Structure 1
């Protein structure tokens, strides 16, 4: 009994200590602060850690600091989807500020010239906070770090700022941070309750982790598809920081993690010295955390493999990425295996690590500057051996996909050229205006290798994220390595998208091929305007041009527009969608004539997307983004909580992303399908559709037996069977409507699950089928690879008057998997023909 009372008393003392929120709890001792610099509380109206900082107050404080301190300048680099500013503070000494551009130019010169002396240069550190909005201790610690750097008067800080340029990003995810702060603050009680069952710690769907479209932005550093990413990547390449920190949170029962991660899970293109320096930097973190008595660990989890994460992206760009993971209070206070965990405690650890990073940068400045200088020197030596060699990529029928990959190269400061003229390589034709060439002999040759490589052998079989991201495969483009730079034309200095046109005015009909990426956007605009359009089920030719499966026919007669108005309207559509539309004067062709029944009438899509509890928000957000940002198509989001009350007859297509709604909605949804609707299900939703008898799917069962595996090794054995994300080859039947718009007989599919469907006994019902040896890039265990071979990722079956369509794989992965977006669009526009 006495022991229980003692433990309770100690817990109360610990709780009281951790809930202290004035600056003395956080800031270093024996440091004086400039009283003319505003404290966080004086601007935001509460102590740091008392409430979760909202993004508007965070911005307000950063602007106040920049106004008051000659150590800080601030810039707004753009806005999020919700209109919030993307701020970057530059923090350094007043002397450095007066010469900042010269410092930047000298720093960049050290990455471009062999003879530059780096010993007297400032080191550049990019500090980024809370890219996951519901991991808020980072952005709340940013309040303290910015104040300390602006106001501290100690010699250590003054010397630090003389030797360091700090690029300070207080919120990598403004929209998510705001969403989570609202949740935590509105559910806070006056009497803080650490019970993890309290509503404060149970966010509603989709939570604050993601941005507006529910993307995990810490996977977008390499693809750069989101506005937040574009801002920070522009800042990164403008400066090429030596160190980049990425402040995160993890499970409540953990402690504090800092890199390096598991050594065997580092990407082979990352130099070994990078990890050695990372470990040396870790000694500074350990010393600082020891001083305040915080537990931590390193090298036991996480990895440095996928270059699309903030802590790994710098490693292929001459810098050192550092991941911090703090056990999360997920609110203001919560029980944990390590005692009561308070929000202020989590903030203090993040703040401490932010300062120890800067101490490491100062203490290791010369070594780290030399490392970056040598990284690019060695890269140039590697590139010189590739002189005269290049990579060509493109699609002779789809300029838009080609453009969007080139757009990523431009954002990543990779040089590329137009083609001098059309040419063929490895049996693929590359057409000027529809392809680009990347010379291998250039500064960022290692980054090029990381983006274009196909890797199928690995030191480790466990991955924190995807194991493959080969960009031309993701975009569904033809590409060839080792071509001669003699094929290169003008270097592209300013990338521009192909302008769409209508060949001429017609009084008969217009034809639009389906190959271009934005064809669905154009067709939707045509149908939405009330015009009639048809799709060609077979190939034909006219006026010396061949038209493929899926060609769209727009008759001139019997429309709601006059021939002149129709022509002008189609001109606007072609321009807006970057496509070519051909005018024809006769219905007589070689093949099916334009009046043939093989041209099928199309219906305006009326699409709904099921979202909410039980649905994977990432997958749902990718689809929402695709419709809203790429194709300008209206999409109704139906929440699972209210689905049973919705009049589903308003929609002809409903998409069910990975996940499963409550079984109570199955009856109404099934009736809607039977009445003529098309239900499209993805990934784990197929299990729900199968069990609720929407569609009968034949899944392979894979049984694994561990042999000679110890108890200690059991986790690795199971983890090795996970398909975390790899790329696989499938054959396609181009005559099937789900494959309209694809010109090749093969397609590259992204897969990160172990659902394997056996093919239908009728071959024509298997329009997409994995090859016998399907692995193109990435890791998969041999048992899984054997199970995947010759299975199908797509099925479509009738249910009453409607249809259920099943995709085992994500066709819209992370917004950069352009190559398979059209599979979904085909299932929507050509649903009656599937």
Structure 2
């Protein structure tokens, strides 16, 4: 014990004086090290822990390791949004490298059942070690430098045995863009003589911080939705190899210690086998022993859970693997004072490296049991899989259904196309826009996890969301069938290119129910082509057009009919929308020259960002407009708002924000702009201070539950149970209202993670979206809140001077994958003048 205390004290003191970190202070000393392998300082100029590694230098070192060691190979699997490489190191024995393709092929046979259980003992185990998915949790990535060096340079019988029996997939930076952002910040603000005062600027990043990726997403929520470039590359690696263990190295609050899984037992997703948790606990014993040996405090089975499968430490659990979360107390810089004393950056790296090694040791010694978990996971899945299938589609919108199909394809889910139109469960399924998911397949369990509707739980508190059903997120028609003609198995889900557009000399109609219709509309308007929106349905001789149909007249345009035709034909083919030629204005219902055909104004959009604005929400809006729909949005920093000219903008979006996001004079400026005709779209917390500023009026329904017989220690559970952390609710819609143009059904599934419940207006036509009297579709909500939410409204709009104020209680663009409600936001942009 004296040795442990001495080492810990020495390590802290050493780092506190002048950050004189030595590589040997991290490394085991019971092996020798190959001098032909470069150390990090020889390539990047410093020992890990002296400075924060930037992503470019990280790549430089990893390439040097791969060039100098026959144990290591490196590949680039793609690029981030900022064009940084997504590198992966494969580390194993030189002999294994010679047969790596064969090893990979044989390993995948565990999944398919082409090997017997008795053969597992002779097969290597595959371990995927990943670091710092949150860029401002850098001890993981900096530990990856030490780990790569150790695995390449260490010599001796133990390391040889481990490499002979293990294939290590080392992903040193899950989030290159965020890592670079944070490294720049902390290195820029680091003093030569280290200052551990927590109030120093080094420890207070500016907005949005390095946690997120380029578009300000939390990448550790995207393992299941797969909407982001980094996640798509990461999960492809997972399925290419099907690792047995995947580690996810994080950081947490500076006053904490060190956490490793398992998490809170009663919050484990019931679809996860108990054997998975048992093995996780056995592996945890290795972490405990390793951390004991260096005197580090730690804990397990508290704080974190294994429920949502979109996290890096939980996603493997539904794929026959073991996911392990590590959470290290963060120094948030070079070193700062905490409740537990001085916490230095090198010490955080030491803990991460130590548990990376204990993971490899545990994986090797428990190899056969872990391989058997994977083998039996899929054999049991085949036995439990029911007969029948799920069918999903979206009539008149093949793109939206295809977006879901693309996610399933990345998860290696077997898909078939309908070979004829079908009618199931009261819904029509068009063969051109519908898909079949057979239940009896290897990916049965992840299919179940993606589509289940769950409303009963073992616990009332969740670390993340309690529901994520993809059938609702993508707003597709969905049916469960006992038998069906399977049709053609798909090897690709790419959509066929639409036929040539038929030319018209009178007008064209763009259906607004198409997922890509907003993108096409903006491009049409950007070409200075006048358009109108139909506020009532109408019919041509052959087709029916719904509320919100966009009409493009040919006459009195700046472009010729041929130029318009060429543009529309190209847009239709590139975006898979349906554009129909109209030969006459004498249509049934309203005519094309009707007063109910209203002209649309080209939107010019600004969005408030910066301190006081929730960066996640802002990033989701930015990504949707910029990356998915190619609609420009000007990001106005809150600190610059007072001197920003707003006159050029038709719309201002304020994501969820605090009341101090704008100064008093800024709020007056906002009022003036709206009163002169501006359109304000606000989310969640913003609506509260808009009400204080008398820009909109509403009443919130609140619970009156009193805490009875709740002890002090149970208070967090009491408050946690009242929180709506992420659930799905059913609302009825008034399809004639512009905010819901483009929706085919009279009901919609809404995701919500707030307790903002707005009372409905006494005028029913002012409630275009209203929760039903039986609203819960999936997820957790306590009985009191469930009663409160009934008949409330998630959207309100009122005039303010000559302008509009529109508010949403919840995020319509949640995590970039709640595609089913994207159009609510887009309608508030394009049709605000019609409300």
Q: Give the alignment's TM-score, normalised by structure 1.
A: 0.97
Is the contact made by 2:532 and 2:551 (CA closer than 8 Å) also made in structure 1? Answer: yes
Alignment correspondent of 1:746 = 747
1-side partners of 2:201 and 2:786: how far apart? 43
Establish whether residue 47 from structure 1 lines up as the match of residue 47 from structure 2.
Answer: yes
2-side partners of 1:774 and 1:406: how far apart? 27
Alignment correspondent of 1:441 = 440
Alignment correspondent of 2:572 = 574
SS in 1 for 2:70: coil
2-side partners of 1:402 and 1:582: how far apart? 21
- Cα deviations across residues 291-340 of structure 1 (Å, max 9, x unaligned)? 00000000011000000000000000000000000000000010011110
Q: Cα gap change, 1:13/1:495 in structure 2, threshold over 3 Å: closer, same or farther?
A: closer
- Cα deviations across residues 125-181 of structure 1 (Å, max 9, x unaligned)? 000000000000000000000000000002111110001000110000000000000
- Cα deviations across residues 254-282 of structure 1 (Å, max 9, x unaligned)? 00000000000000000001000000000
Establish whether residue 638 from structure 1 lines up as the match of residue 636 from structure 2.
Answer: yes
For residues 309-708 of structure 1, what are the structure 2 equivalents within 5 Å?
309-383=311-385, 386-387=386-387, 389-486=388-485, 488-501=486-499, 503-660=501-658, 661-664=661-664, 665-708=666-709
Per the TM alignment, residue 192 of structure 1 is displaced from its structure 2 partner at its CA by 0.4
Alignment correspondent of 2:188 = 186
Alignment correspondent of 2:713 = 712
Is the contact made by 1:611 and 1:639 (CA closer than 8 Å) also made in structure 2? Answer: yes
Q: Cα gap change, 1:311/1:651 in structure 2, threshold over 3 Å: closer, same or farther?
A: same
Q: Cα gap change, 1:276/1:11 in structure 2, threshold over 3 Å: closer, same or farther?
A: closer
Establish whether residue 763 from structure 1 lines up as the match of residue 764 from structure 2.
Answer: yes
Is the contact made by 2:510 and 2:550 (CA closer than 8 Å) also made in structure 1? Answer: yes
Is the contact made by 1:175 and 1:211 (CA closer than 8 Å) also made in structure 2? Answer: yes
CA RMSD of aligned residues (A): 1.2
Q: Cα gap change, 1:344/1:14 in structure 2, threshold over 3 Å: closer, same or farther?
A: closer
1-side partners of 2:219 and 2:789: how far apart? 30
Is the contact made by 1:425 and 1:483 (CA closer than 8 Å) also made in structure 2? Answer: no
Q: Cα gap change, 1:11/1:242 in structure 2, threshold over 3 Å: closer, same or farther?
A: closer
Alignment correspondent of 1:798 = 799
SS in 2 for 1:467: coil
- Cα deviations across residues 619-644 of structure 1 (Å, max 9, x unaligned)? 00000000011111010000000001
1-side partners of 2:584 and 2:11: how far apart? 88
Establish whether residue 721 from structure 1 lines up as the match of residue 722 from structure 2.
Answer: yes
1-side partners of 2:338 and 2:591: how far apart? 72
- Cα deviations across residues 175-231 of structure 1 (Å, max 9, x unaligned)? 000000000000000110010000000000000000000000000000111111111
2-side partners of 1:114 and 1:461: how far apart? 42
- Cα deviations across residues 512-538 of structure 1 (Å, max 9, x unaligned)? 110010000010011111000000000
Is the contact made by 1:502 and 1:581 (CA closer than 8 Å) also made in structure 2? Answer: no
Alignment correspondent of 2:60 = 60
Per the TM alignment, residue 746 of structure 1 is displaced from its structure 2 partner at its CA by 0.3
Q: Cα gap change, 1:806/1:62 in structure 2, threshold over 3 Å: closer, same or farther?
A: same
Is the contact made by 2:683 and 2:808 (CA closer than 8 Å) also made in structure 1? Answer: yes
2-side partners of 1:552 and 1:498: how far apart? 24
Is the contact made by 1:502 and 1:570 (CA closer than 8 Å) also made in structure 2? Answer: no
1-side partners of 2:327 and 2:159: how far apart? 25
Is the contact made by 1:400 and 1:498 (CA closer than 8 Å) also made in structure 2? Answer: no
SS in 2 for 1:326: strand
SS in 2 for 1:680: strand
Is the contact made by 1:11 and 1:340 (CA closer than 8 Å) also made in structure 2? Answer: no
Q: Cα gap change, 1:13/1:277 in structure 2, threshold over 3 Å: closer, same or farther?
A: closer
Q: Which runs of 5+ in 1 are unaligned?
A: 1-6
Is the contact made by 2:109 and 2:115 (CA closer than 8 Å) also made in structure 1? Answer: no
1-side partners of 2:416 and 2:426: how far apart? 21
2-side partners of 1:246 and 1:485: how far apart? 41
Per the TM alignment, residue 479 of structure 1 is displaced from its structure 2 partner at its CA by 0.3
Per the TM alignment, residue 115 of structure 1 is displaced from its structure 2 partner at its CA by 4.9
Per the TM alignment, residue 663 of structure 1 is displaced from its structure 2 partner at its CA by 3.6
Per the TM alignment, residue 483 of structure 1 is displaced from its structure 2 partner at its CA by 4.4
SS in 2 for 1:41: helix
Establish whether residue 734 from structure 1 lines up as the match of residue 732 from structure 2.
Answer: no
Alignment correspondent of 2:234 = 232
2-side partners of 1:655 and 1:560: how far apart? 31
1-side partners of 2:813 and 2:52: how far apart? 34
2-side partners of 1:424 and 1:503: how far apart? 29
Is the contact made by 1:500 and 1:577 (CA closer than 8 Å) also made in structure 2? Answer: no
2-side partners of 1:345 and 1:128: how far apart? 19
SS in 2 for 1:713: helix
Is the contact made by 1:508 and 1:556 (CA closer than 8 Å) also made in structure 2? Answer: yes
Deviates more, 1:573-582 or 1:251-260: 573-582
2-side partners of 1:461 and 1:671: how far apart? 45
- Cα deviations across residues 44-79 of structure 1 (Å, max 9, x unaligned)? 011110000000000000000000000001100000
SS in 1 for 2:106: helix
2-side partners of 1:501 and 1:730: how far apart? 36
Q: Cα gap change, 1:106/1:588 in structure 2, threshold over 3 Å: closer, same or farther?
A: same
- Cα deviations across residues 773-806 of structure 1 (Å, max 9, x unaligned)? 1110001111111111110000000000000001
Could you tell me which of 293, 301, 308 is aligned with 2:295?
293
Is the contact made by 2:607 and 2:636 (CA closer than 8 Å) also made in structure 1? Answer: yes
2-side partners of 1:56 and 1:699: how far apart? 50
2-side partners of 1:108 and 1:95: how far apart? 20
Alignment correspondent of 1:4 = none
SS in 1 for 2:826: helix
Is the contact made by 1:512 and 1:553 (CA closer than 8 Å) also made in structure 2? Answer: yes
- Cα deviations across residues 642-696 of structure 1 (Å, max 9, x unaligned)? 0010110010000000113224211001100000000000111111111111111
Is the contact made by 2:604 and 2:648 (CA closer than 8 Å) also made in structure 1? Answer: yes
Is the contact made by 1:260 and 1:298 (CA closer than 8 Å) also made in structure 2? Answer: yes
SS in 2 for 1:145: helix
1-side partners of 2:361 and 2:441: how far apart? 34
Is the contact made by 2:501 and 2:569 (CA closer than 8 Å) also made in structure 1? Answer: no
